[in-house]
A = this chain, B = another copy of it.
Amino acid sequence: MSADQPDRAETRPAMRDALVSAAVALFAEHGFDATTVDDIVARAGVGRRSFFRYFPSKESVVFPDHEGTLARMSDFLADESGFAQDPVARVCDAARMVLAMYAADPEFSLARYKLTRQVPALRTHELAVVRRYESALAAFLRARYSGRADGDLRADVVSAAVVAAHNHALRGWLRSDGHGDPAELVEHALEWVRATYTDDVPSAPRTAEPEEDVMVVVARRGTPMWRVVQRVQEALD
């Protein structure tokens, strides 16, 4: 999916790249708190105003691709061609755009992870960024669930669950110092959430009619739903 691939030429012109590289190198050498914006622009060889043209704060230089990814995610969710898709599957696809951003530059992502663990201000900044992704997903789901009982509640819970699953997998990959395929980890986690909340199961293309194979479940009325489901699941397995 082309929308999954950050357009680095567009979102990171050379000066912006130079500022990010200088900042990350200085934070690693002297620590985040001891490094000033003046230190960063001196290392990058650009003027102070250039820094603030690209970044509103010293924190934001550590997360240079989030604004672009947020914008692409909004476009993706607003694209009407996706309205035929199950809404939960759609927000899972949107979440994968964040993963793609991290996976596009593993070295930078791992360095940032180490830095973020050490600097509370960066962790807090990251929470605010994650919240914006979650809000974008929730807004999309609220619209899709409008008119449905508990639609807003469902939208908020599903978007939180999708973000939690995505971040669980992403964090696992970062913590392992980038071992394994992050896309596989995220795939597994998102599928777990999608299976819980999806209710429009896309019909798989069928080439042949399956054999008639009848299953019968007999249950006493009053049997708890979870028990019925468990027995049916066992029979299907």
Instruction: Report yes or no: A157 in contact with B201, Cβ–Cβ below 8 A.
Output: no
Inside 8 A of A84's CB, which chain B residues have their CB? none
Determine which of B160, B199, B216, B233 lies in contact with A160 in the assembled complex, contact meaning CB atoms within 8 Å: B160
Number of copies: 2
Whether a CB of chain B sits under 8 angstroms from the CB of A93 is no
Instruction: Report yes or no: A156 in contact with B164, Cβ–Cβ below 8 A.
Output: yes
Interface of A is mostly: helix
Instruction: Report yes or no: B216 in contact with A216, Cβ–Cβ below 8 A.
Output: yes
Q: How far is the CA of A215 from the CA of B216 in the complex (A)?
A: 11
What is the chain B residue whose CB lies nearest that of A233?
A: B225
User: Interface range on chain A: under 10, 10 to 19, 20 to 34, or 35 or more?
Assistant: 35 or more
Whether a CB of chain B sits under 8 angstroms from the CB of A50 is no
Q: How far is the CA of A193 from the CA of B123 in the complex (A)?
A: 28
Instruction: Report yes or no: B214 in contact with A221, Cβ–Cβ below 8 A.
Output: yes
CB distance from A142 to the nearest CB of B (A): 11
A residues contacting B by CB (< 8 A) are 123-125, 127-128, 131, 150, 152-154, 156-157, 159-161, 163-165, 167-169, 189, 192-193, 196, 198-199, 201, 210, 212-229, 232-233, 236
Can you sample 22 A-B contacts with CB below 8 Å?
Answer: A153-B165, A153-B189, A157-B164, A157-B192, A159-B164, A160-B164, A198-B226, A201-B224, A210-B222, A213-B220, A213-B222, A214-B218, A214-B220, A214-B221, A215-B218, A215-B221, A215-B223, A216-B216, A217-B218, A219-B232, A221-B236, A225-B233
